[in-house]
Amino acid sequence: MNRTSYRNQHESGYFCELFEDVDTGDKEFRLAKHDEVGYQLLDSMSYSWVADNYYYMKVRADGTDIKAKVWAENEEEPETWDLQATDSEWNKGLVGIGNFNSQGDRYIDWISFGWLGNSAPLQRIDMT
């Protein structure tokens, strides 16, 4: 989740997700938003992700430009953004994490945030 807000008794925000169509088995990486209307897809691409593997997903919101990229844990971070969209619904807000879908399990192993134009750190910290 990136750039979230709470307005008119609804949580709202931009987010990215790994998605699998249950009917076709097609897999995608998606950039979307959730607001009072519900789920709205902003951009997507085919992405053959594998269940039970770790992936990094990065979202950046800068003014009306929303960007996202994904890569497997054992790969280097791509220099280019995979998905891009322009949206003016929210031009400021908070960073948060959430789940708008009550079906299925969501597992998050590690999360970090960057602000004031700085990238989020990608180095894991061993908590054992």
Closest CA to 112 of 120, 123, 102: 120
Residue 4 has a pLDDT of 45
Per-residue pLDDT tens over the stretch 92-105: 666 666 665 666 66
Q: Give 120 or 28, the one with higher predicted confidence.
A: 28
How much is the pTM? Answer: 0.78
Within 10 angstroms of residue 112's Cβ, the number of other Cβ atoms is 13
